[in-house]
Amino acid sequence: MSRIFITGSADGLGKAAAGTLLADGHEVVLHVRGRQRLDAVQDLVSRGARVVAGDLSDPGQAEDVAGQVNRLGRMDAVIHNAGVYTGRHILPVNVVAPYVLTALIARPDRLVYLSSGMHFDGRPQLDGLDWRGHGESASYSDSKLFVTALAMAVARLWPGVVSSAVDPGWVPTKMGGPNAPGDLRLGHLTQEWLAAGTDPRAGASGGYWHHQQRLDPHPAALDAAFQDELLRELERATGIALPEA
């Protein structure tokens, strides 16, 4: 049995992954944006899940979420699932929050970051970005390129941790819309497999995955110089350094 924390698990792929992992006998810690969202996860709480709350668009609340998670005990895996598609909170939620949580949550064995096939359209440019989200300065594609690079940086810098990025596909969730053509089950299967699976392939760090198949990400995501520049920008924006291995 593994203990797994999943951000953004009040609905969509996060909640679906949580339900499957609970059914498989794992201990799951859910995350909701605020206490007003607790009703959305009562079905999972009744099955034994625990919950932390905090708005990940606010770096201070992201820090508090990390503290709540740490008080529950060390996680075996963290799935960075929370994300937004539009608006000024794209960078705070999709990139800054995963960075803050990665830096502050007691280091797990496995880290899974939600990317997207749209990351291939992202721009590997870090100048002039508003990481705090006061204005909209990056696209969804940019944010997914950055979080993929973060996953690859962690894989390089923390050799004792299996760090992976996942493209779940375009699936029918609140974000994807009801007409999305993808298979919803396949949309969360890979995250579960990477977080708790016993397949040796799931234990290989530094992968970019789609439906349990390892693919090549955007070249910038694998560029150590770009990774290091991204980490410096995130440390400057948050005042939080990624701990050394």
Cα–Cα distance for residue pair 62/125, rounded to 1 Å: 25
For this structure, is 140 an active site residue? yes
User: Are 57 and 27 in contact, with CB atoms under 8 Å apart?
Assistant: no
Which CA distances in Å does 101 have to 70, 95, 107, 125, 144?
10, 10, 10, 23, 17
List the catalytic residue out of 15, 99, 113, 144. 144
Residue whose entry in the numeric block shows the structure tokens 């299996």: 162
Give the distance, in angstroms, between the CA of residue 60 and the centroid of all CA atoms in the same chain.
Answer: 18
Task: Residue count of the chain, please give it.
Answer: 245
Dihedral angle over CA of 58, 64, 66, 71, nearest 10: -160
The DSSP bridge pattern shows strands 77-80 and 110-114 to be parallel
Which CA distances in Å does 176 have to 72, 97, 193, 213?
32, 21, 22, 21
User: Are 111 and 151 in contact, with CB atoms under 8 Å apart?
Assistant: yes
List the catalytic residue out of 15, 99, 113, 140. 140
Strand boundaries in the chain, DSSP class E = 3-6, 27-32, 50-53, 77-80, 110-114, 162-166, 207-210, 213-215
For this structure, is 144 an active site residue? yes
Cα–Cα distance for residue pair 161/159, rounded to 1 Å: 6
Catalytic residue annotation: 140, 144
